[in-house]
Amino acid sequence: MPHFNIFQDIRGLMILDAYTHWTPPNYVKELSTVKNGSAVAEARHVMDLSSQNKSFIDPEFRIKEMDQFGFAAQVTMVHSIIEPNTFELTNEENLRLVRVINDEISALESDTHGRIMGVGSIPLNSLEEGGLEEMDRAIRELGLKGFMVPTNACGVPVDNFGLAWERAAKLDVPVYIHPVDTYGKNSRSYEQEYDLMHVLGWPYETGLIWMRLMLSGILSKFPSLKIITHHLGGVIPYMIGRIQESYDSKASKVLNVRGESYGVEGYNPKDYLDSFYYDTAIGGNLSALKLGLDVVGQEKMIFSTDYPWGPDGGKVRMANYPGLIEHLGLDGEALENLFSKTAMRLLKIEL
């Protein structure tokens, strides 16, 4: 792996964008041939976006923008809206498509000489039909740095896939959680208008899975897991007090409107804040970043822009997000950790 000290910006800080997305062209072509109409529609949508903006698909263009804004490297993964586990596919299709993603993202890392590093996908619905072996291959043979999973796979919450969490813990790699739409999208029809499911529903979805991973026992069963939550943990930093009141068996148990107690013996939610990492792609709001810093701590935060999403194909975020981090009032070592070192340790990389 080459060293990128020449890409330190004028402040002498190395910037690793630890949560970005990419369009694997062969995968999108394969996805567009399946019988699932939603999958085909999303594949075409992403290809349209990619044809309109090179940042979605062109590695050379991405590297030019990284150089322009002083970014040393990116960690990338498939766009969540075309993640194969979010479509109703056969188990064979699920496994085959994930293999295509993992192959392409591994090749991307090689082709860019490590400037763009890859996170793979997991065939959640075919874990016992070659999926676990694919997880092994992705890390041990392809050299991918971890995995991304959707918050739910066609309505099945991701905490239900215990075999995947067990294998991720065994492989000792981080798992990125990405929010996706609720299955069927009919529970709250009014959430479909005005892009509200994306803007407000996704942060809630992230918080929901944060809670389920705690309450289902996944975190207790596999304490070595490294889990990265998107958008600063969604609603968690803001709602942690309410969560603590409701579920901490040592605190006063709050009764819901039905008069039932939901305190869970043995759980102290605040203790589980450290079981996760939280990225800084929060929409460019300094107050929200300060809240996250206060609740989860600098040691659990990693820098991200969610490139190429955002204004002007992610360029506005690349220009503005580093400056916001600098306004958090952290010392030099803490800034270095947030911008790169924490993610480098998680992903076992050198820059």
Q: Give the span between the Cα atoms of 70 and 118, in whole angstroms.
A: 20
Average pLDDT, the chain: 91
The whole-number pLDDT of residue 348 equals 96
Q: pTM of the full predicted structure?
A: 0.92
The whole-number pLDDT of residue 267 equals 65
212-230 burial code (b ≥16 CB/10 A, e <16)? bbbbbebbeebeebbbbbb
The whole-number pLDDT of residue 10 equals 41
In this prediction, residues 5-32 reach a mean pLDDT of 83
**% residues pLDDT > 90 (the chain):** 79
Q: Lay out the sheet containing 174-178: strands in order across.
A: 120-121, 147-150, 174-178, 226-229, 276-279, 301-302
The whole-number pLDDT of residue 245 equals 80
The whole-number pLDDT of residue 6 equals 37
Q: Give the span between the Cα atoms of 244 and 273, in whole angstroms.
A: 11
The whole-number pLDDT of residue 264 equals 52
Where is average pLDDT lowest: 45-54, 110-119, 194-203, 247-256? 247-256
Angle 347-124-33 (CA atoms, 0-180°, nearest 5)? 105
The whole-number pLDDT of residue 234 equals 96
Structural domain boundaries, residue 315: 5-347
Tell me the residue ranges of DSSP E strands in the chain.
15-22, 71-78, 116-118, 120-121, 147-150, 152-153, 156-157, 174-178, 226-229, 276-279, 301-302
Burial of 88 (0-12, 13-18, 19+ CB in 10 A): middle
Q: Give the span between the Cα atoms of 343 and 174, in whole angstroms.
A: 10
| pLDDT tens track for 68-80 | 999 999 999 999 9
Q: Which residue has the tokens 């150089």?
A: 67
User: Token digits for 218?
Assistant: 């996944």
Q: Give the span between the Cα atoms of 146 and 348, in whole angstroms.
A: 10
More confident residue, 189 or 255: 189
Neighbours of 249 (CB within 10 A): 12
Confidence band, pLDDT 50/70/90 cuts, at residue 206: very high
CB distance 157 to 206 below 8 Å: no
Confidence band, pLDDT 50/70/90 cuts, at residue 187: low
In this prediction, residues 311-322 reach a mean pLDDT of 95
In this prediction, residues 128-140 reach a mean pLDDT of 98
297 has a pLDDT exceeding 90: yes
Number of structural domains the chain divides into? 1
| pLDDT tens track for 226-285 | 999 999 999 999 999 988 887 776 554 544 545 555 545 566 788 899 999 999 999 999
- Domain at 340, CATH number: 3.20.20.140
The whole-number pLDDT of residue 249 equals 63
